[in-house]
Amino acid sequence: MDEDKIEALFKEILKEIGIEEDSEVFKNTPKRIARSYKEIFAGMDDGNEPRITLFKNQGYNDILSVKDIPFYSMCEHHLLPFFGTVSIAYIPGNSILGLSKFPRITRFFAAKPQVQERLTKEIADFISEKVEAKGVLVVIKARHMCMEMRGVKSGNAETRSSAIRGVLKESRETREEALKLLLED
């Protein structure tokens, strides 16, 4: 990502919307935007994919859940933020995933222009495939600034999505147990 180019382009955008680039407040704004975009869109670089730590499963065959992992992403249609929480339940196979990896996986896939549906799918697929989990359930609850700040201006509307893989998709009873773990307080 070329920060100098992004900075120059944002100078033009600010000028176009009527902001004087030499004003005290906005003088360094294009530079700050360029630096923040490098961080916000770090998921565009596959080299930033999280390294996962797997441990030999010592016989755990039940559901493990991690709730309310915060995330921030950018809507690919408007480049406005959407944010919320990701909750994940999985049944391990031969390996278990280090707990700190769930937020890292979430952060990686959120760090690019996204739609909530694909974000949900990418997290579920990654855990299902890389960990070879027996089952995975991902639930995302999010607020979208493209709905709240513009257009319909639907403040506080929460969008929920889910992706289900493996035995959690096949067994209604197991899926309901996983959903109960993720959705109840």
Q: Who has greater pLDDT, 57 or 24? A: 57
Mean pLDDT of 23-50: 93
12, 34 contact by CB (below 8 A): no
Count of Cβ atoms closer than 10 Å to residue 67 Cβ: 16
Q: What is the amino acid identity at position 64?
A: L
Would residue 45 count as lying in a domain?
no
Q: Which DSSP string corresponds to 17-61? A: TT--TTSTTTTTHHHHHHHHHHHHTGGGSGGGPPPP-EEE--S--
pLDDT tens-digit series, residues 125-165: 999 999 999 999 999 999 999 999 998 888 889 999 999 99
**What is the domain extent for residue 65?**
50-183
Give CA–CA dist 27/37, Å, rounded. 17
At 122, the pLDDT band (50, 70, 90 cuts) reads very high
* Mean pLDDT calculated for residue range 92-111: 96
H-only helix segments in the chain: 3-16, 29-40, 101-110, 116-130, 145-148, 167-170, 172-183
Co-location of 99 and 8 in the same domain: no
> pTM for this structure?
0.93
Q: What span, in angstroms and rounded, lies between the C-alpha atoms of 51 and 76?
A: 26
What 3-state DSSP class applies to 119? helix
Let me know whether 65 and 156 are in one domain: yes
Q: Is 124 annotated as a binding residue?
A: no
Q: How far apart are the first and last CA of the chain?
A: 41
Indicate whether 68 and 134 sit together in one domain: yes
Query: Do 102 and 56 belong to one domain?
Result: yes
Task: Determine, yes or no, domain membership for 60.
Answer: yes
Domain harbouring 124, CATH code: 3.30.1130.10
- Radius of gyration of the chain from Cα atoms? 20
Instruction: For residues 89 and 152, state if they share a domain.
Output: yes
Annotated binding-site residue? 75: yes
**Residue 176 within any structural domain of the chain:** yes
Examine the domain organization and report whether 134 and 155 are in the same domain: yes
Question: Do 14 and 98 fall into the same domain?
Answer: no
Triad 72, 73, 75: Cα angle to 5°: 145
Same-domain pairing of 112 and 145:
yes
Flag whether 8 is in a domain. yes
Number of domains comprising the chain = 2
Catalytic residue numbers read 75-78, 116, 144, 146
Residues 55 and 19 grouped into a single domain: no
Has residue 29 been placed in a domain?
Answer: yes
Tell me, yes or no, whether 168 and 77 share the same domain. yes
Q: What is the pLDDT of residue 79?
A: 94
25, 59: one domain = no
> Per the annotation, does 146 bind a ligand?
yes
pLDDT at 39: 94
**Two tokens at 7?**
């900075």
**Between the CA of residue 9 and those of 5, 13, 33, what are the distances in Å?**
6, 6, 10
What pLDDT sits at residue 20?
83
pLDDT of residue 6: 95
Domain assignment of residue 117, yes or no: yes
